[in-house]
A and B are shown apart, each in its own frame.
Chain A
Amino acid sequence: MISPKLVEVGRHTHIELITNAELVDLKGEPGRFTALVRKRPRFVDLAKCTACGECAKVCPIETRNEYDEGLSVRKAAYKLYPQGMPGAYAIEKRGTAPCKATCPAHVSVQGYIALVNQGRYREGLELFREEHPFPGVCGRVCHHPCEGECTRGGVDEPLAIRELHRFLFDWERAAGELAVPAAAEGRSEKVAVIGAGPAGLSAAYFLARRGYRVTVLEKLPVAGGMMAVGIPSYRLPREVLEREIELIRRLGVEIRTGVALGREVTLEGLQAQGYGAVFVAVGLHGGRRLGVENEDAAGVLQGVEFLRRVALGEAVEIGREVLVVGGGNVAVDVALTAKRLGAQSVTMVCLERREEMPAWAHEIQEALESDIRIVNSFGPKAFFIDASRRVSGIEFKSCTAVFDENGRFNPRFDESACQAMFADTVILAIGQTLERGGLEAAGVVLRGPGLEADPVTLQTPVPWVFAGGDALYGPKSVVEAVACGKEAAESIHRYLNGQDLRQGRPRRWEMVRPEAIEEPRRRRVPVRCLDPAARECNFLEVSYGYDEAEARAEASRCLRCGVCSECYQCVKACLAKAVDHEQREETLEIPVGAVILAPGAEPFDPSRLENIYRYRTSPNVLTSLEFERLLSATGPTQGHLQRLSDGREPRRIAWLQCIGSRDTNQCGNSYCSSVCCMYAIKDAMIAKEHAHGELDCTIFNMDIRSFGKDYEKYYNRAIRAGIRFVRSRVHSVDVLPETGNLSLRYVDEAGGLKVEEFDLVVLSVGLQVPRATEETAARLGVRLLPSRFAATDPFAPVATSRPGVYACGVFQGPKDIPGSVTEASAAAAAAAADLAEARGRDIVRVELPEEIDVSGQEPRIGVFVCNCGINIGGVVDVPAVRAYAEKLPYVAFADENLFTCSQDTQEKIKEKIREHGLNRVVVASCSPKTHAPMFMETLEACGLNRYLFEMANIRNQDSWVHADDREAATRKAKELVRMSVARAAALRRLESKTVPIHKQALVVGGGVAGMTAALALARQGFPAVIVEQEAELGGFARRLHRTIEGTDVQAALRELVAQVNAEPRIRVILAARITGFEGFKGNFTTTVVSGPGGSPERIPHGALILATGAHEYRPREYGYGEDPRVSTQVEFGDLLARGETAGLQTVVMIQCVGSRNAENENCSRVCCQNAVKNALALKEASPDSQVYILYRDMRTYGLLEDFYTEARRRGVIFIRFEPEAAPQVDFGPEAVRVRVRDPILQRDLEIAADRLVLSAAVVAADTAEISALTKLNRNPEGFFIEAHVKLRPVDLPSEGVYVCGTAHGPKLLSEAVAQAQAAAARAATLLCRDAIRLSAITAKVDPEHCVKCLTCVRSCPFGVPQFSEASRVVEINEALCRGCGVCTAVCPRQAIRLSYYEDEQIVCKIEALLSEEVA
């Protein structure tokens, strides 16, 4: 239902849609506002996206589908629903996940984990390598700071992020593949990297991927730096490292080992060899000395050197007892290596306490597992040496503090507490230093212990030389070296291209997390390791890593913090290149004249009432919105009625009304949400239709409020259909564990406690204004009511407290769709009045070239076959279809396009039309519903008549629905194209007739609605004529005194009349009668006779607004008119206004007099509030009086509910009655005796009243005459029938005619005012134009063949064909014809043809299809 509106809004040239946006601030005055709009990124370019959906297909992230109320999942790349506007997809990205933000290399961790979760390992590995060349190395040795930030850590344990990328590497290795990343086109510039450690190799990797020629020079005989000679092979097997270095080599990087800067090469020499830049990353390969006596004795080794020598395979002598000095990771590696070399006992001694040790916890753990003794809080004092000057032990002094009060390393010792330890080998692992030899001489600038360079750009004082890695910033981990190498590559790239090195750096990373996490606890999948005993005396890898099942299980624990994981699969999949992950939030400043707030409502969240309704506990307790999705053909069960707990079809469903409405106790929403009764009835009816077999539907309610136009009829239908209505508020829901059924406990009207069991419970949740809207309103200075709806006045229902800002829809107050749509138009009218001066100023007008005359030309058809990315091309053999099309009759040209709807293809089509002299165009692509208008515009833009166009829908009708059979799909595509080509050849140019508009409206009725409509038009600049049958303006409102809110109706009415009389654009004709009406939209003529004996006046007008009003029913019931003590509510209002109610002791009011009965089935909508209003007024005037209101359902909908509550608080007594037990009234001399059965007390009551007040129905004014003249239909109750109840609530079926006020149905003054403004807005859409272009698709009579049988006259649903007495033929006015073609089909002589759908234009398709078969 909503689709056409969406398409219209989306395509409208005067509407700019800004989605993902929020109004932040509004400055200035009405007519001259500046709106500040914050627009969040969509990450998809609207201009490029063709909505093919490939991004969603490849997206690995599944998240809650809010369109299905969370009952299904959707992808992070998504389109909320098929008809969504704009049609483009969007990517939901909350921000950067903590893992990616924390990773020094900023690997898209969430991304590769999502891909692992889907088994897409190759893509996962590729994604990892985008940012990091060492998934295997870091998969083993990384200190994984990411895991420390992992959100899952707050739930149970962080994800094993490191193990998962190690798995990817292992998977590729096991598969025997090595996927070398893509590199940019080769460039001529050469870059040298000094040092083949992780920093140097990373720089080389990223530079090579950018196309540079990179040479890495390494001093050692092997590449890898500390990865090769620092990290022992039991932690990092050499073949792992070698594979990753091999990949860098395959990118074209040359690695030369045994070449040292300052020894074999100098910077000058490199420059001479043509290197444009150098990156120096030589690492820290020297050991730090203790500075203690006898440190150089035999048997004392340096840790770094020790590890290097072991790694290089040199024979290293080691004794039985080994002492390792140091508490860092290197010390642990040294200790474990010594152990594996055969040392009997290894003891680590360090200054720090255990918890202060710089080694990572898991390394310490591993050391302890391998029987390494760790002695804390001691520092070496002196070395013991034996006679051969060989070391034999160390005397240690105890360390009292390692760090000073400033946190700096500044150890203090207690020299008195010493301890001696003996060993035959001592290995010092207390730090690393730069091996400076030759560096300075080679031209590198040193500073302090390392190299000198800018910490951000890494540029050294020698501009073409960059430096990084441990040698720059001290000992750090592999991943930090990778990050540094990547930055170096970026700097060098910028440097070589003359770009600013500093712009946008360092990039700031802000992490996001989901707000509330409700996740079942799931422990991390443990990593299997080599048994500690099996680690001795060998260098086998300790950790086995994950197998595939373990990796998938672990990956599924990810909480998807960022929603979008930035895996970039969508970027690759999008052939239109529409995905842009770099989009950022922007703030727009938009000059506007008026603002309309239509922010809508949210459903009440019943989780807050969990202890009563068990919404969270039971999957069989649904909100009404969830249930609607369950009934929808596009919903999670495709419309199959079933329980989500067990898939069983329910047999008994209960609806609980007023959840989050009419409830000050539990939720604070005192108002009635107005819509829940009707939607519950509707859903129950639909559920019955969907059910297989019997379905019991029970609606638990306090009152059924079917107060809208014709709603009561629907309610009665529901009762007849067997839907049970129980008047009770259910007080508890219990889940029955065996069946999942729900047991409801409630008290029935008679006070009995009942328990009933249901399969499914639907909570009819109410509407409320979201907190975010409240904040927006506060920012804009728009006043809200305590209920959080916008504060408005009954006579200005869409104006907020801030001038120039208007409200409509549920934000204005709870209401249904017709009410919302009406108010939306009303707000448009109010805004248009503010903008009247500027109307038409900023709109874009399209100038069209003169039409090319193709008459008499043989058809020359151009066929454009669309691939729609791979939507069509992936199934249908598009080249074959194009080739086939080329050979079809009259085809002059055929082509295929990636996206035929893209802007550049439109240009191409224009070019081809001109180049090949095409006079017909066929596009074989998607649905003409969405795309034909655009292609037709393309035709017009190069002078071709827009009707010389035809579409073959080879997507929706073919590739999408026959994807399983490519051959059949291709065959069908050819057939569809053949049919379209045949039709194209039969098409003719059509002319859309243009008729001028008479820019004036005629308003029938001078009541509040009529006057408001006329004023709203006049304020927009359009003249209006009010035709009123009475001798004065005001209508029924003259009988009213106050609104329930307290507004003085007479004062407001006087003001309104004064405004009308003062408005020069309004002419008022009083005491008038309409005697004639003719014409069509834009060009009506109404004949009006004013006063007795007046002469008829013919008034031309472009639009007609009917505001003929209604009056109060004159009851025939309850002695009205017979006994003076009986009056209607309106008459009682007169008494109250005149103060003539003093002395009344007891008043009884009876509701629904003349409504909801056999004669008038409908509810009169206003009487309940009228009774409450008068009861309150009486209580106010005479507090001691007693008021009884006898009612059937109290229908104080929306915010009126508060007055009902107030009346009860003030002691008004409400007694419900059933229509079959209606009150009985006797008129005694002293009192009116009213007898009624009280359903709660279960007995008859008798009330002796002074006065009986009847809430009489609203009866439509007598409009028989005008209805006959205008051929506008009324319902049996005499109210005009609108064109579409929901979408066009103020339009009448004849175009250019509108209705407002009680002429449409009973309504409150405020509602009549809104509808009047709406009618004015609708009329203005017509009157604002100088002329209208009529549709060219109309029926035409051939007078030669017409035999004047008048079948068409009788058949036309709109009464358009007329027999003209003047010309003696049947004529069809093309301004009135809707183009349905009914007349053409009924004409026995086939004398009528419908343009664009002529018989031969339909039959030719049939012939084309059936005349041949496609091979």
Chain B
Amino acid sequence: MRLSYPANVKIVLVPCTGKVDVMHLLKAIQMGADGVYCVGCLEGACHYNQGNLRCRERVERVREILQEVGLEPDRVRMYNLSSGEAPTFVAYAREMTELIRRLGPNPLKNSQPAIRVEEAA
């Protein structure tokens, strides 16, 4: 549908959000990403049964870690949608970008906002 969304979102493809590791998310924040979000299938509709639910648990874990080290947990989030929902994808990209803009740059690295998405194949 070619709907426009902020260009600071870059996508890293994974076969299933269940593949996303705590380490991947922390690595991104450590290297200075201002935010990371995972986009998985709708809950209950995971192609691999429960990968998206596992991802959500890991996202929660990373948010706790961020809290512990004094970073805003909202820099890492989890979203769900189905592949036919372009407008929802755009809405999430905008929402995340707005959120990060409010939080400001990642203190671990002074760089312009860069957000990454992890998406299920």
Contacts and interface: CB of A to CB of B under 8 A. Distances in A.
Interface of A: 1, 3, 82, 632-634, 638-639, 928, 953, 957-958, 960-965, 968-969, 971-972, 975-976, 979, 1337, 1355, 1357, 1378-1382, 1384-1386, 1394, 1397, 1399, 1402-1403, 1405-1407, 1409-1411, 1413
Interface in B65-114: 83-88, 90, 109, 111-112, 114
A1378 B90 CA distance: 30
B interface bracket (residues with beta carbon within 8 Å of A):
35 or more
A962 B48 contact: no
Contact of B7 (A639, A972, A1403, A1407): A972
Contacts of B84: 1, 632-634
18 contacts: A1-B84, A634-B86, A960-B2, A961-B7, A961-B90, A962-B7, A963-B4, A972-B10, A975-B10, A979-B12, A1355-B54, A1357-B49, A1380-B18, A1380-B19, A1382-B19, A1402-B12, A1406-B12, A1410-B111
Interface string B4-22: 1101001111111011110
B48 A1357 contact: yes
Contacts of A639: 87
B19 A1406 contact: no
A958 B9 CA distance: 10
What are the 9 A-B residue pairs with the smallest beta carbon separation, nearest first?
A1381-B19, A1380-B48, A1357-B49, A968-B7, A1410-B31, A1382-B18, A1380-B16, A960-B2, A962-B7
Interface string B28-47: 10011100000000000001
Contact of A1357 (B50, B88, B112, B116): B50
Given A633-B86, A1402-B24, A969 B19 contact: no
B48 A633 contact: no
A1095 to B, nearest CB: 39
Contact of B48 (A961, A1382, A1386): A1382
Contacts of A1385: 18-21, 54, 58
A1394 B28 contact: no
A632 B86 CA distance: 11
Nearest to A968: B7
Contact of A1378 (B1, B48, B85): B48
A961 B2 contact: yes
B88 A633 contact: yes
A962 B14 CA distance: 23
B88 to A, nearest CB: 7
A621 to B, nearest CB: 26
B116 A1406 contact: yes
B13 to A, nearest CB: 7
A1385 B3 CA distance: 33
B7 A965 contact: yes
Given A638-B87, A961-B5, A1382 B16 contact: yes
A968 B6 CA distance: 9
Contacts of A1407: 27, 31
B116 to A, nearest CB: 7
Contacts of A1406: 12, 24, 27-28, 31, 33, 116
A1386 B53 CA distance: 13
Contacts of A1409: 10, 33, 114, 116
A639 B91 CA distance: 13
Contacts of A1381: 14-16, 18-19, 51
Contacts of B18: 1380-1382, 1385
Contact of A1380 (B2, B15, B86): B15
B15 A1379 contact: yes
Given A979-B10, A1409-B10, A1382 B31 contact: no
B15 A969 contact: no
Given A975-B10, A1381-B18, A1410 B4 contact: no
A1280 B49 CA distance: 16
A7 to B, nearest CB: 12
B78 to A, nearest CB: 14
B52 to A, nearest CB: 10
Contacts of B13: 928
B111 A1413 contact: yes
Nearest to B111: A1413
Nearest to A965: B7
Contacts of B21: 1384-1385, 1399
A1402 B19 CA distance: 10
Contacts of A638: 1, 87
B31 to A, nearest CB: 4
Contacts of B47: 1380
Contacts of B111: 1410, 1413
A26 to B, nearest CB: 38
Contacts of A968: 7
Contacts of A1405: 12
B87 A969 contact: no
A958 B10 CA distance: 9
A1380 B51 contact: yes
A965 B16 CA distance: 31
A918 B47 CA distance: 35
Contacts of A1413: 111-112
B116 A1399 contact: no
